[in-house]
Structure 1
Amino acid sequence: MRHYFLSALLFCVPLMSFGDPLPSWNNNEAKKQIIEFVAAVTDPSDPDYVTPAQRIAVFDNDGTLWAEQPVYFQFIFAMDRLANLAKDDPAILSTPALQAAAKGDLDTVLQGGHDALIEVVNVSHSGVTVDEFQADVAEWLDIARHTSTGLPYNQMTYQPMVELLSYLRDEGFKTFIVSGGGLHFMRVFAEDAYGIPPEQVLGTYGETTFDTTNGQPVIAKAPGIAFVDDKEGKPINIERTIGRRPIIAAGNSDGDFAMIEWTTAGDGRRLGILVHHTDAKREWAYDRESPVGKLVEGLEKGPEMGWVLVDMANDWSRIYTGAN
């Protein structure tokens, strides 16, 4: 009998490991809190049970689902696309900011502040149909490589967060991206990278036009920003587009604070998650002083509001999907 018990125990150990829904998360408090929350809201006998229709989870993208240093990847795409456009029409480089961007001189562009960034995005993201723009994004993702890691940008997604998205969907959640990134840019890769279809991607979007070209109706991207999906814009866009207050919200910067605050202020049990970039060895370490992904308010107020603060260096055994 004793030998049978030991054999059964040894047999169960690998099965228990195999059944871990978050294998790239170390067995620390963050993982425990997430699993306990999901178990409670999906158990019909638990007082915190939430029906499947109300199991909405929203995630920022830049710095939460994939990396964002030294600058948002979409802006790197914008500079690369601008350089290609200038080969055919050098006259588009009409300002110092555009000239610097076409040379890949990020420091000079950043010195120009918000106006310089918008200028680069307007020129590189307009005058083309949505379909043509997204084809260019797909081609760029196939060939572009990050200068520090050497990885394709769409392999710099965070494996622990990809696992979390899958785990939630397995438990009846509907997962959304709610990010400051461009709507048409993110929709190109979100389904392959995260399992999130285009209709569940919310982001910043520019002006668009509807017209008929060669007898075919087309939607084209025009200069100008129509809506910025950042800070207070995130909960506004969730309410406007999804129509339900989420019960889980995850981000990594103060740009996500309003979304997480609004989510966790709802009735019933709620979960806020902040990814804290603490891993200078495997990724980057930054928060309060960073021009990209700045995190101050979340660090100061998040813990006292009961949010899960994920320490990347300590809580994740693996960072990127494209590298161990």
Structure 2
Amino acid sequence: MIDHDALTQLLGASGIVDPALAQQVGILAGRFPMPVQRDLFLEIEFGDEAVPAGFGVGFPAGALDRFRALQHPFLTSALGQSLEAAFADDPFAADHREHLNLFGDPDPDWVEYDVSNDRIDATPFVFFRLPSRLRRLANAQEVRALCAILPGEAENGDFERLLNRIVALGPASPYRIGVARSRGAGWWRAIVTDLDREQVVVALEGLGASDYKGPLGPALRLYEQGMDRSGARFALSIDVLDDRITAVDVECPFLFRIANPEARAGPLSNYVREIADLGIVSGATAAWTRDNVVRDVRLPQGGASLKIMLHHLKFRLFGQPHLRTKAYLHLGLTSDPATVAVT
């Protein structure tokens, strides 16, 4: 299992979370098997200060299926059973029984836990991979095929109309569908990626959003200045309740578009200075972002280390609170070889 003592100490030493929350994160993470320790994340929400809003882990693609096939003891633990209960809500379960769906992306299977008032909610929020044939949408017929199997009342609702506006300008890639029992019946979240700026604009304008262009132009300039790796430029995180879209966040810029982590600081510094000058974020938020673009945290006595990298920012551009800004930090724990246990 993950070395929870090392993670607790390293998070505390980072200063990103307070010692009490670092302890909670360490205890929770310590119940997960070691394969997830290179794909941990923290969600940080900015207000008067940077406040943790979520913690998550990523299982390597296919790992959970392998655990099930091998009857891995993790799945019989209380934590494993809570995850299995959450994954039982898969909206694509019937489709997977009918189709092989062999082709998917190599990204992890993400599990998230909300953090509020420095307490971690015990209910997992899980994301589901889409059927292979629906991972890239290019026309209204493909949009309708996806909406026909989504949760709630997606057909003929806000979400279908939004997707149709997007694909009228070019293809789009639904990345994951998130479901959380704690957020009530009929609620789900769609992540739609591989979008360009024009697709984001037409999606937001169709919802009647205003004052939304601020983060987009600076992100394009960051990509022009530094990007040297293929991948998404913009993604939309779309909250849906029954047939109604309640919130849309734009995710940008994606820092992994600059392959060398050490080369990200300059372009990011220019980006956050620009959005701070526009009043989108505060000077303190800009400074925090610059400080945490890439960090290696090590304990004085040596041993395990924690790699912290800013993955992307996220801005609420439709719904409330308007222009709420979050940062997603990717964490990779490297274990001290002397303390690694067999799992």
TM-score past 0.5 threshold: no
The TM-score, its normalising length taken from structure 1, stands at 0.27
- Choose between structure 1 and 2 for higher RCO, CA contacts under 8 A separated by at least 6 residues: 1
Q: Which has the higher strand share?
A: 2
